[in-house]
Structure 1
Amino acid sequence: MRLHYLQHVPFENPGSILTWAQENGHLITNTQLYKDETLPMQHDFDWLVIMGGPMNIYEEESYPWLVDEKVLIKEAIASGKVVIGLCLGGQLIADVIGGKVTTNPYKEIGWFPIRLSEEARLSPLFSFFPAEPIVFQWHGDTFSVLPAEATCIGESDACKHQAFIYKKRVFGFQYHMENTPMIIKGLVENCREEMVHDVYVQTAEELLAHPGYIEQNNQWMKLFLTQLEEMDRKGEL
């Protein structure tokens, strides 16, 4: 399987997704958009992973590569690829499928529980999750409106839409299960100005104080990807 990922800033790489892909012998390619690298053609990859980043989906003037990135994502979905978006990546997916991305009522930064829907927990893709997993958040915007074809599968007190599935093969996550300690340190170092005092914003010390949460999130991500690959291979998506 050929996995391609889109990276928006140097400090947000796919983390445990890369580890999983390497352990399973998959071909990994990438586009570093902040370096203005050339995007791939649709025939170059099977799965597309879209990373997070501090920019917003509507900031095309400051980040002109967003225009072509959205076209690539839309074409990948139309081509029937498996597409996974994380935080900004999930928002980009929501935008190209006809949803809306707006400022969330609360900024969410830190470790917080989400609630998975009963439908999600009955799916083999999510059956191993607890009802309220604690996941890592770092966002101010969110996919506040989803099209009818998308199914919201997670919510929290701070954010109504935490995850969605679109046409069985496209997944948007507002939260991060791929983050390693190095990625979280990079976020703290590069985006510290976003950590304003608020009800759902934890301190840098709190963010870095839970290696057990990081390990558990990485394990959930690997289990999700393994099940997704198996169902994709069997034609069950």
Structure 2
Amino acid sequence: MSILVTGATGNTGRHVVAELLRRGHSVRALTRDPERAAAVLPAGADVVTGSHTEPDTLDAVLAGVTGLHITVTSGVAATGPELVRRAVAAGVERITILWGGHVGPAETAVVESGVAWTRLEPQEFMCNTLGWADSIRAAGVVREPFDFPSAVVHEADLGAVAAMALTEDGHAGRAYNLSGPRALTVRQRVAMLAEAIGREITFEQMTRQQAIDRLTATGVSLADAEYVVGWHADPPASARTPDGVLEQVLGRPPRTFEEWLTEHKDRF
């Protein structure tokens, strides 16, 4: 089975690639940055340069592919339907889609594609913690506008579910809410991180507007920044409470935040 993974060098895509390779499948890893691929992807992936936001350039990449993993980003909201159309025309038989937080045009196109599909609906990734690294190293501080509990999920667990859905039966037509084993507030995660790295870290609450301004300063669009901050202002119940879906799908407990910290503490 040959599978195309979009966003292959991203925080989640790299885990989809790794798990598919571990299972013995052929993987085409689509990325805008092939040099980054050499640093973050395991050996064996066929790295191809391109973007899933430019589907009219991907016909050759899609040729011979039987499975497709799509990561929805802001650009894919507009181009996703065309990507799906071209994928189906090329003979793709299974699609997994990592949603963008709601069912938009790309997610709808996948459902209406006529091929086997699985939608992955994580609420918040553990790797979002890496966004604190610079301020921790510089000042020993984490600044966030809210402190609600969130059942953060390990991105490697998402990779495992995506690989299963792309290569095994029993997942077609399913939308999986993916949560970690425990809901943790920002303060709790900060305390656990401080213990893991052996350094005092202070939590400072910022305003909603400051959080929006921080995101737009990094190049995030105002609409996306408002959406992200708005989500954190009132997380859905599915984000606040572990529901056991991940364990049911994988047949094992989800990875813990403590495990994630052990793997990434050197980044802080």
Normalising by the smaller structure, the TM-score range is 0.3 to 0.5
Q: TM-score, normalised by structure 1?
A: 0.42
Between 1 and 2, higher relative CO (CA 8 Å, sep ≥ 6) is seen in 1
TM-score calculated relative to the size of structure 2: 0.38
